[in-house]
Structure 1
Amino acid sequence: MIPADLLIYLSAFIAPFVQEDAAVVGAVTAFAHPGMDKMANGSVILCAMLCGLVISDLWKYWLGWAARTQSWARRFADKPGLADVGAKIQAHPGKTLMIARFVPGTRIPAYLAAGFLGVPFGVFALWIIVSALTYTSVIWGLIVTVGTVAGQKGQLYLGLGLVSLILIVMGGRLWMARFKQSVRADH
């Protein structure tokens, strides 16, 4: 049987592959909440989540890179608008990747585009690590501040509330996408 704390660490590592924002909020809340030490080490949870976050982003780069080998993708890359986007990502990869980390809905397209448009992998990886640490630190600051002001229960409720909000927004987006598909199919 697998020990409970190992399952928690494994879950923290896998969670960013499913939903990054919820994984960060969950790991930071676990790290900051003093009661977590009864179940698992909050520092290990946070480290496992950060490793999962970075790896889940790095493989998106390689998907974009692999798409370049496809003829349809090369034709797509020759479009003038995409060349402009590529030039901007190449000129300002740090700025682009930091913005993508914080703006919902832009991460996956930016990461795929970075690979597709040939941003050097080392530059991409460095900015993914920097942006993951920055984003995690911002969320940690928010959770700890609320914990200081509202107490441990407030901290826990904020974490649960943020994860719930993220899941509701994701569910709403999925529902809207399916609704739009059904409307198109009816016409």
Structure 2
Amino acid sequence: MGLYGLGAAGARWPWLRRFLHITQHSQEWFSRNTFRAVAISRFIPGARLPLYTACGYFGAPLLTFTVTVIGATIVWTTLLFLCAQSIGNWLLSFQSQWRWAGLAGLVLTIAFMGRLIARLQKTEP
């Protein structure tokens, strides 16, 4: 909602409008395709910020935008949770006898990477 508001505020500032060109075609496109564009952008990394801001800038219907964002967020979060749960269960059942070795390896990797990064930062000019 904040990105939508940022885009809507940007459309109202005259000094910003001279750098950006609003056409009737782009406003109509965002009005017609708000649901599809917002839903798809939820699943494409890096697409939400520019698209949500553009929806506000081009005046996409706020109600359609809001309902789509909420629905896509619910679906996206549920899918991520179910995927993480199923992968986690599989890993626990498959590698249960190795879990302590894996935990030790994780701790050692974190400690090693921390020391490596600290050493590299000291040597940089």
- Whether 2:75 is the aligned partner of 1:131: answer no
Aligned to 2:30: 89
Counterparts of 1:86 and 1:104 in 2: how far apart (Å)?
Answer: 24
Bigger share in helix: 1
**Residues 143-182 of structure 1 deviation map (CA, whole Å, 9 limit, x = unaligned):** 1111221128x8xx9xxxxxxxxxxxxxxxxxxxxxxxxx
Aligned to 1:63: 6
Larger radius of gyration: 2
Counterparts of 2:73 and 2:79 in 1: how far apart (Å)?
Answer: 10
What displacement does 1:77 show? Answer: 2.8
**Residues 126-158 of structure 1 deviation map (CA, whole Å, 9 limit, x = unaligned):** 111011101101101211111221128x8xx9x
Aligned to 2:47: 106
Residue 120 of structure 1: which of 61, 70, 75 is its match?
A: 61
Aligned to 1:175: none
Q: TM-score, normalised by structure 2?
A: 0.66
What displacement does 1:92 show? Answer: 1.4
Unpaired segments ≥5 residues, structure 2: 96-101, 103-125
Identity percentage over the alignment?
24
Structure-2 change in CA distance of 1:86 and 1:106 (3 Å): farther
Contact 1:62 1:112 in 2 (8 A): yes
**Residues 58-108 of structure 1 deviation map (CA, whole Å, 9 limit, x = unaligned):** 111000000111124333133x5xx54443322111110011111111100
Aligned to 1:77: 21
Aligned AA (2:79): V
Counterparts of 2:26 and 2:46 in 1: how far apart (Å)?
Answer: 17
SS of the residue corresponding to residue 68 of structure 1 reads helix
Counterparts of 1:133 and 1:92 in 2: how far apart (Å)?
Answer: 20
Quote the RMSD (CA, aligned, Å): 2.4
Aligned to 2:120: none
